[in-house]
Structure formats: C-alpha cells, structure tokens
Structure 1
Amino acid sequence: MIEVRNIHKTFGENHVLKGISTLFEPGKTNLIIGQSGSGKTVFLKSLLGLHQPDEGEILYSNRVYSEMSEDLKRNLRQEMGMVFQGSALFDSMTVVENVMFPLKMFSSMSESEMKDRADLVLKRVNLKDAHHRLPAEISGGMQKRVAIARAIVNKPKYLFCDEPNSGLDPKTAIVIDNLIHEITVEYDITTVINTHDMNSVMEIGEKIVFLKDGHKAWEGSNKEIFKTDNEAVTNFVYSSELFKKVRQMYLEERN
C-alpha cells in the first residue's frame, strides 16, 4: 500500500504538485491519468523517491519515506520494480541477462539460482524461447514482456509502469495490460501506472487518479468514470468520438 498525504512539489516558480492525497492499494491496478503538463510524471517520480516533496508525506506500507534512514530507503528501492516507457533494455545483453541484472545488483543468489529465477519470470510473461536473443532481435511487445519480467524478478511489493503501452499496436497493448493486471493480482503488488491510454483506463483501471494542473481533480474506478459529471474528466476521457459513443451507450443502458 502507498499512501500520499497532501504532497506539494515546486521547481523554481513552477508549482507542479498542489496538495495531492490518495491511496494506492495492493492487488489493484492504480492508474494516473491527465493531460501533458498535469503533473503525472513528477507525481510518479515522487512515488519512486526520485523527487522529495516540499510538503506532505508519502508512506509505503505505513512507513514514512521522509523519516527513513538512507539504509531503509535503499531497502525500499529494492522492493520496487519499474517498467520504463521505452522498455530501457540493455542492447548488449541478452534477454535473460537483462532479467538477471537486478538480481546481480541486489541479491546474494548464486549464478544458477539467478538463472532459475529469470527462467521462472520469463515463463510467467510467456517468453519461453527468447532467452539468448538480443533486444533488437525481438518485437516491441516481446521487449515489453522482458521489461515486465525484469521488474518482477526481485519479487517487488511495488510496481511502477510509465506508459507501458507506448509504441505498441492496440492488440498487443491489451495483452500487456492484461499481463500487468494478472501479475498485480497474483503477487498482491501495489501497481501504479502512468498512462495516456484510455483503453487501459477502461480495461484495467480499478483505481484512477485524474490530475489537472497539479491538482487531483477526480478519482474513482473505470466503472465510476462513466458516471461522473466532472467536466474536466469528461472533456479529457471523451475527447474521442469512440469514447463519447461508449459513454452514451452506458447512459442509455442505465435508463
């Protein structure tokens, strides 16, 4: 669980985060959405500990980050997994070497134990025959699976995903969404996803935090988002004709 209490973040005269409070629960896919410039990236980096809020607190399983010693912060970082927007795989490493990298950094496993663990998570993301291929030799969707495998190889309590569907075709994006959701539930991870993808919102948005101009303008589930009269949310979510039609169908079914 991650609890955010009234955090503010300013860069010079730019007040980016303005009193955001929310709760991200384990076993659920928690999504952060909003227009460019709304504060999503700074918020995600604050959750990762890359930015220290000027005011407010962030708690990880009831542990206040700002009160932790450097050793405890280092331990917390080992409890975090990250899926980067562009996968961020090492080009010169094979798939299995990429997945083993966090184990070499943070674990005391033997080489054979690391290979066994990497093999297990690669099987979990349905990549059984790509171990010795380089990232350039596999598709974008497969690269994303490798990134997910690397993110969960250390059995994290917290999983962060920055635009995990970026650059993927719609069909592959749905597969990646479902995989992240399955892993979240299976391992009871607190997963936080920064996304522009409205399909992700509809498919796996169990908790959605909508940011606007640095404020939390709305929060709820993918079912509740159809019901809201919050103008900022409806203007953002239903900017496309497709989602306007989906919402209209929902409203007609209710009536």
Structure 2
Amino acid sequence: MIEVKDIHKGFNGEQILKGITTTFERGKTNLIIGTSGSGKTVFLKCMLGLFTPEKGSICYDGATYSDLSTEEQRDLREQMGMVFQGSALFDSMTVEENVMFPLMMFTKQKKEEMLVRVNEVLARVNLENSNNKLPSEISGGMQKRVAIARAIVTRPKYLFCDEPNSGLDPRTAIVIDNLIKEITEEYDITTIINTHDMNSVMEIGEKIVFLKFGNLEWEGDKSQIFKTDNEAVTEFVYSSNLFKKVRDAQLKGL
C-alpha cells in the first residue's frame, strides 16, 4: 500500500501538485487519469522518489520515504518496478539481456540463477523462446510485454506504469491491461498506472484518481465513474466516444 498525504510540488514558482491525499491499495490496479498538465507525471515521479515534495509525505507499507536514510531509500527504490512509455528497451540488447539488466544492476546472483528468473518472467508474459530476438525484431505489443517482464523480474512490491498502452492498437492494449491486472493480483503488487486511455479505465480501473490542475478532483472505481456528476470528470471521460456509448448503455440498464 502507498499512502500519499497532502503532497505539494512546484517548479520555478509554479505549483504543480496542490495538496494531494489518497491511498493506493496492494493487489489492485490503481489508475491516475487527467488531461495534459494535470500533474500526473509529476505525481508519479514523486512516488518513484525522483522528485522530492516540498510538503507532505509518501508512505510505503508504513515506511515514510522522507524519514528513511539514503541507503534505506535506495533499498526501497529497488523494490519498485517501472514500465516506461514506449517500453524504453535497449535497442542493442536482446530480449534476454533487457530483462536480465535489473538483476545485473541490483543483485549478486550468478548468471545461471538470473537466466532461470528471466525465463520464468518471459514465460509469464507469453514470450517463451524470444530470448535472442532484438527489440526491432518483435512487435510493439511484444516489446511492451518484454518491458513488463523486465519490471517484475526483481519481484518488486510496487509497479509503476507510465502510459503502458501508448502506441498500441485497441486489441493489443486490452491484452496489456489484462496482463498487468493479472500480474498485480498474482504477485500481490501495489500497481499504479498513469494513463489517458479510457479503455483501461473501463477494463481494469479498480481505483481511479482524477487530477485537475494539480488537485485531486475525484476518486472512485470504474463503476462509480459512470455515475458521477462531477463536471470535470464527465467532460474528461466524454472525450472518449467508446466511453460515452458504454456509459449510456449502463445508465439505460439501471
């Protein structure tokens, strides 16, 4: 679980986050949504420890980040997995080498032990026998699955995903959404997903935090977001034609 309490963060005199308080539960897919400039990326980077809030605190399973020593903060960051927008794979490395990279960086395992773990996570994301392929030799959806395998290879307690469906077709995006949800439940991870994809909201939005101009405007789940009368949320989600159709269908069934 990650508990965020009254977080403030600004740059060059401009306040980006204006007192956000919320909780992200373990074993659930927690989504952060909002328009460009709402503060989603800054919020995510604060939770990753890349930005230091000027005010407020972030607690990871009871441990307040700002109270930890430098070594303890480093140990905590090693418990975080990250799926980057666009996958961010190393072009010159094979699939196997990309997934093994965090193990080489953060563990002292022998090569044979690392390879066993790499094969485990590749099998989990349905990429058996892809070890020796380069990123350029596989599809965008497969690249995303490699990125997920790399993010979970160290058995993280916290998984952060920044626009994991960026650049994917709708069918492949659903596959990635479901894979992230399955892994979250299987490994009992606290998963936080930064997204603008309303399909993801409808598929896996167990906890949704909606930001507007650095404020927490609304929070709830994928069933509650259909029924909210919050105008800012309604305006945002109605930008998706698919979301509008689904919402209208659900309301007719009430």
TM-score range, shorter chain: over 0.9
Query: What amino acid is aligned across from residue 242 of structure 2 in structure 1?
Result: L
Name stretches of at least 5 consecutive residues in structure 1 with no aligned partner.
none
Secondary structure of 1:224's match? coil
Q: Report the TM-score when normalising by structure 1.
A: 0.98
CA offsets per residue over residues 174-208 of structure 1, 9 Å max, x none? 00000000000000000000001000000000000
Name stretches of at least 5 consecutive residues in structure 2 with no aligned partner.
none
Query: What amino acid is aligned across from residue 101 of structure 2 in structure 1?
Result: F
Distance 1:84 1:244 in 2: 29
Q: Which residue does 2:249 correspond to in 1?
A: 249
Distance 2:233 2:174 in 1: 23
Q: Which residue does 2:200 correspond to in 1?
A: 200
Query: What amino acid is aligned across from residue 181 of structure 2 in structure 1?
Result: H
Deviation at 1:251, TM superposition (A): 1.2
Q: Which residue does 1:140 correspond to in 2?
A: 140
Confirm or deny that 1:111 pairs with 2:107.
no
Q: Which residue does 2:212 correspond to in 1?
A: 212
Deviating 4+ runs (over 4 angstroms): none
For 1:145-156, list aligned pairs within 5 A. 145-156=145-156
Q: Which residue does 2:57 correspond to in 1?
A: 57
Distance 1:251 1:142 in 2: 37
Deviation at 1:24, TM superposition (A): 0.4
Please report the RMSD computed on the Cα atoms of aligned residues, expressed in angstroms. 0.7
CA offsets per residue over residues 55-78 of structure 1, 9 Å max, x none? 000000110001110000010011
Deviation at 1:153, TM superposition (A): 0.2
Distance 1:55 1:136 in 2: 43
Q: Which residue does 1:98 correspond to in 2?
A: 98
Distance 2:212 2:189 in 1: 27
Q: Which residue does 1:159 correspond to in 2?
A: 159
Indicate if the aligned counterparts of 2:199 and 2:243 stay in contact, CA closer than 8 A: no
Confirm or deny that 1:189 pairs with 2:179.
no
Secondary structure of 1:225's match? coil
Query: What amino acid is aligned across from residue 92 of structure 1 in structure 2?
Result: S
Distance 2:229 2:238 in 1: 12
CA offsets per residue over residues 89-112 of structure 1, 9 Å max, x none? 111110001000000011111100
Q: Which residue does 2:224 correspond to in 1?
A: 224
Distance 2:245 2:72 in 1: 49
For 1:2-81, list aligned pairs within 5 A. 2-81=2-81
Secondary structure of 2:87's match? coil
**Identical-residue share of aligned pairs (%):** 70
Deviation at 1:250, TM superposition (A): 1.2
Deviation at 1:249, TM superposition (A): 1.5
Query: What amino acid is aligned across from residue 12 of structure 1 in structure 2?
Result: N
Deviation at 1:7, TM superposition (A): 0.3
Count of aligned residue pairs for this structure pair: 254
Distance 1:115 1:109 in 2: 10
Q: Report the TM-score when normalising by structure 2.
A: 0.99
